[in-house]
Structure 1
């Protein structure tokens, strides 16, 4: 095993410190008793209680969670379908255009994406609200799901599907009973990635949201422009906790599925012997 050099250790330490020290400071000051976010005045959890009594923040949080769940679900379904077509479809007419349209949001500036969606919604006469935010988030997060699922399908052993087809399964049954359970960790990872992107989005949501639907990032941005309050620290801490729990859960699910797949493979090899 190759040992890390002092340069690598120093680089990693500085990198992690740059990323996580601000978050740690934010979490600590969310328990500050004083109103000033930069002066420690004692430990208190009162700002969490004040936050949950703030109706504007709670409504924005509910809209954000609802949009994130719906858009990530649609993005996962469409992204998985797109990945399956790209990997298993072979060469077909319009493949280059199709793949370009799928991956375009990866490199497209969010301002351009948000502005183009805004013009589309105005052109078709669709009022901005929860529906337009869901459509916008599904559009830009679908490509991320497609990339994650495609990487798993490329390494997928197609002989397992062929065996299921030989045993009498239809193509849909082979996909549902064989392919989908094996690529499930990638699908779950794609859903969590889409959920996180939707939860964090500010630019595209600012173009596609309306007065009746304001997401939490927009609400936080508007509040920060008037000054950072301890309530925002508490809200940010809760969001960090939610994302952390989601990442840990995804890692545990992926690890468990990987171990189960290894056990099934070993059992199949022993049976074949």
Structure 2
């Protein structure tokens, strides 16, 4: 008689725990989305269906300014962090093992291991010194701070893509007298494209949603959409915040779905 393989899903109570976990995770999100369509101003009492909070958010100039600022920062941070992550991934995978490789890998992924509040305080001190020395107060600090924080998020899918790529095509290009640059441009880069795009989308989402680093680094009048919402919650909170959150949630779901489709293994 064949021995039955152990499966966690067959353990008693597994289904109950799984359902309870999903309910605890997604019930608050479902509630937020539902009350974004509330006709009244209460965030806890349903007063009928309406889209006017979405219209209010759309016509709110402060929301528009914060949204544009968030998108500008996220786009620049995604481009910078993805470029650095691509170079780092190539440098740590397309060569023989070397001394200090583990240290470099840990250093690249350091923002993932250190509490974000520590990174935020360190960046605040560093950029505070630069601000005093230069007098510059622009968005460049937020772009650099987000870029530094997003590098490991872009690095992981790019490195995973490189490690899963067949080296035979690159070897064949070298055998046909292609230069290293030609091999990279016409062979490696096209194959690496999905990983780069996935890393850029993940970095974009992380930057767009960031609150802690932005709150510590930004100067006056540089609210992003998440920090604007945080400020509104400290005052009188209305379903307009729910509407903005729902729009952000929809954008994040779309990007993460695209990330999943790009990184999943075919076949």
TM-score (ref. length: structure 1):
0.86
**1:8 to partner: Cα distance:** 2.7
CA deviation string 1:207-237 (max 9, x = no partner): 1111132111111111112242110010001
**Correspondence for 2:193 among 177, 184, 187:** 184
Q: Name which of 117, 137, 141 aligns with 1:111.
A: 117
The residue aligned with 1:267 is none
Helix, strand or coil at the partner of 1:177: helix
1:57-96 residue CA offsets vs partner (Å, 9 max, x unmatched): 1111111111111101111111111011111233456545
Cα RMSD between the aligned structures?
2.1
The answer to whether the 8 Å contact 2:112/2:152 transfers is: yes
SS in 1 for 2:160: helix
**Aligned to 2:243, which of 215, 234, 242?**
234
Provide the aligned length of Structure 1 versus Structure 2: 258
Which range moves more in the overlay, 133-142 or 54-63? Answer: 54-63
What is the CA distance between 1:163 and its match in structure 2?
0.6
Query: Is 1:170 aligned to residue 176 of structure 2?
Result: no
Report the secondary structure of 2:67's partner residue. Answer: helix
Alignment of 1:1-273 (within 5 A): 4-5=9-10, 7-92=13-98, 95-124=101-130, 125-126=133-134, 127-254=136-263
Does the CA-based 8 Å contact 1:121-1:128 persist in structure 2?
Answer: no
What is the alpha-carbon distance in structure 1 between the residues aligned to residue 16 and residue 223 of structure 2?
A: 42
CA distance in 2, matches of 1:98, 1:250: 26
Query: Secondary structure of the equivalent of 1:78?
Result: helix
Structure 2, unmatched stretches of 5+, are none
Normalization by structure 2: what TM-score?
Answer: 0.88
Show structure 1 runs of 5+ residues with no match: 263-273
Moved over 6 A (4+): none
